[in-house]
Chain A
Amino acid sequence: MKLENTQVQMRKGILEFCILEIIGRGEAYASDMLEELTAARMIVVEGTLYPLLTRLKNAALLDYVWKESTSGPPRKYYTLTVAGRQFLEELRQTWEEMALSVGIIRQPPRPA
């Protein structure tokens, strides 16, 4: 049983949740997200983000438009679709519940 595996498992859904949260605040492009996610220590390397974005886009949760950039190649600006917004709403609820559940369990039982 590897610690790493468990960490990957835990991160799995939460990373998607965070990406949706960032895009949910308004259109965003990969570098913005990277900065934020790296700062929050959600990801370590940037390569992790791209397959996730593609997957969310293929699942029709995200949509994007190309925008010219003054520095560098054109950028993909992502927005949430209607389905993406619903998905995010559900994830928020799940997160609240899970955080609560974990909190309850980690709390030492009160002496009766």
Chain B
Amino acid sequence: MKKNISINLQGLIFHIEDDGYEVLSRYLQEVKAHFASYQGHEEIVADIEGRIAELFTARTSSSKQVITLTDVEAMMAKMGRVSDFATEPDEEEEPAPTAGGTFEPNGPFGPKGAFGPEGTFGKEGPFGPKGPFATGQPTADGQPRRLYRDLAHRKVAGVCAGLAQYFMVNPLVVRLAFLALVLLPNVVGGFDRFPGTGLFHHHFDLGGLAVIAYIVLWIVLPKRDDAPTPIDTLDLGGSLAGRKLFRDIDAGKVGGVAAGLAHYFRTDIVLVRVIFLLGAFLTFGSTIIIYIILWIVVPEARTMSEKMQMRGDAVTLSGIDNNLRSNAFEADGTTPAGSRSVGTFLEGAARGAQPAVNFVGTLIRWAAAAVLITMGASSLIGVLGFAGAALGIISSESVIHTDNNFRFGDESFNSVMHNAQPWGIVAATLLAGIPALALILLGVRLVLRRSVLGRTGGLLLLALWVLGLVGTAMAGGQIFRDTRTRATYTTTRRLAPVPGPGIVLDSRNMEDFMERTRFSLTPADSGAAPYVEEEYQARGRTQNSARLTAQQSILYTVSQQDSTITFDQGITLRENAPYRGQKLHLTLHLPLGKTYRLMPLFI
């Protein structure tokens, strides 16, 4: 008596004897593994299964209902083993030309030469189609290769994920590199405490640069929602000849990281472990952190083909067979327990920590959003307040109180603003306000994780900003023309003669003035009355208009009471007069032979 197993091949049920089943299922596994890299491999395998079903049907009848090992072997002889399929024309494999000279295996066009499949510019080399610097060839999803933000697999804004897609590496590599750039200078900065090494001394804030680069890329890169699944192994562009980094939990002591690395770099596992342990002592545990990170990010080799990729074995009949035999105990899912109990425990803990890791990502996103919104909002309020005051919509008092940057007095602020046309102010507001608004939108978008502004909205903002730029430039040009030349208007103010022996020079305290008056003193004849030479200066489009402005727009008083002469502290402008860089220079002609007393305010 024999035990039967019933199987289903392409919708047909077969009863198959136990031993035959073993062989058949191993055969189908081989076939699947062999065709896994082919286009349309599901269909090929389905076709083969269909053919097997057909062959089996032909071998059953009402008197023989069960498929035996003999039937399976006959089928395999007919279908062929995986190793026989090698005669199948293989698109992936372009055997190198074998003529002499440069086409020799080690010549430039041979398999190992620069242009051969394994060379620098070959298929697997760094500049080849599969290498990290290849350009132009289609990516995993057949689209031309370009740099974008990968929103489908992002942690923050998809910049790292997009870079990983571009360079065809695991996004994790990019993220780790980025984090290392941000954190490392600060962490290793501590080594400066060991005097004399100077090894980790750094002058650049690499971390800051990396963050800025990230933000710049965030802004300039186009986004993409439908990016292909990122590479999830640490196979760096095939440069390590098809081996992929997995954790080898069979050989591992803790999490299989060291064993996996040993497979990957084709070194002895003991060497890797020694490096890890020595490193842990020498670098204060940093290799332990690296270990934990690798543990989290590197997948464990579960399936047969993953285990073979890990070891770099070719996925062939003999390879699979060897693996099946050497790992027979694995088929029932038992782990070689004992040595890995620590690992199992830690692994469970790591799985539990996954939500926390995600939470940290969210936290970073929200913090960035808060910073962006605060920055944007405060500058937007400043810009709008300034504009409102300049246009006279709100009183400049409130601006002075809301924003400390504009410590103008009431009067001078208005006169400065009289220079500008209203449209110029609007333009400047757009120029400064739109970036502030963009910061806010970026922050909001970060929180909502979706675009706030459509494409049209974005273009509209950009157009308005360009308009603001042009307008500001034109207004600036106008102001420049209006203040091109400088002219002086001179007049003399005669004062009454002072009878007494002394003269007091005082200054009138003013709340608000445009520009402090400059004085110079010159002696005059002892008997004469003091007089003041006043030089009014202003800028203007022409000499004449500048002189006219100097003459008409400046208010300044000098008063005399007995022996006290009081000067204004500074000049003010007539109401609604534009600011044209008005200045006043006074030359005091004072008679000799008098005693002068200067009041503190005058000095």
Residue numbers of A with Cβ under 8 A of B are: 1, 5, 7-9, 11-13, 15-16, 30-31, 43-48, 50-55, 58, 69, 71-73, 75-76
Instruction: Assess the A11–B78 pair: CB atoms within 8 A.
Output: no
A8 to B488, CA, bound (A): 99
Given known contacts A16-B89, A76-B47, A45 and B57 CB-to-CB distance under 8 angstroms: no
Residue numbers of B with Cβ under 8 A of A are: 9-12, 31, 35, 38-40, 43-44, 47-48, 50-51, 53-54, 57-58, 78-82, 84-89, 91, 95, 98
19 example contacts (A-B, Cβ-Cβ < 8 A) are as follows: A9-B95, A13-B89, A43-B87, A45-B78, A45-B79, A46-B80, A47-B48, A47-B85, A48-B80, A48-B87, A50-B44, A52-B89, A58-B40, A71-B57, A71-B58, A72-B54, A73-B10, A73-B57, A76-B50
Output the least CB separation between A53 and chain B (Å): 7
A112 to B79, CA, bound (A): 53
A2 to B321, CA, bound (A): 25
A31 to B48, CA, bound (A): 11
Output the least CB separation between A30 and chain B (Å): 6
Given known contacts A47-B31, A58-B39, A31 and B51 CB-to-CB distance under 8 angstroms: yes
Residues in A whose Cβ lies below 8 Å from that of B81: 45
Residues in B whose Cβ lies below 8 Å from that of A15: 89
Instruction: Assess the B58–A46 pair: CB atoms within 8 A.
Output: no
Output the least CB separation between A19 and chain B (Å): 11
A-B CB pair tally, cutoff 8 Å: 88
Residues in B whose Cβ lies below 8 Å from that of A47: 31, 48, 79-80, 82, 84-85, 88
Residues in A whose Cβ lies below 8 Å from that of B43: 54
Output the least CB separation between B251 and chain A (Å): 34
Residues in B whose Cβ lies below 8 Å from that of A45: 78-81, 84-85
Instruction: Assess the B87–A8 pair: CB atoms within 8 A.
Output: yes
Instruction: Assess the A55–B39 pair: CB atoms within 8 A.
Output: yes
Instruction: Assess the B54–A11 pair: CB atoms within 8 A.
Output: no
A15 to B439, CA, bound (A): 63
Instruction: Assess the A51–B38 pair: CB atoms within 8 A.
Output: yes
A48 to B83, CA, bound (A): 11
Output the least CB separation between A80 and chain B (Å): 18
Residues in B whose Cβ lies below 8 Å from that of A1: 98
Contact of A30 among B10, B51, B87, B98 (CB under 8 A): B51
Residues in A whose Cβ lies below 8 Å from that of B91: 55
Given known contacts A5-B95, A30-B51, A45-B84, A73 and B12 CB-to-CB distance under 8 angstroms: yes
Top 9 closest pairs, chain A to chain B, by CB: A45-B80, A72-B57, A12-B89, A72-B54, A50-B47, A47-B80, A73-B10, A47-B79, A45-B84
Given known contacts A9-B95, A31-B54, A73-B11, A44 and B87 CB-to-CB distance under 8 angstroms: yes
A72 to B52, CA, bound (A): 10
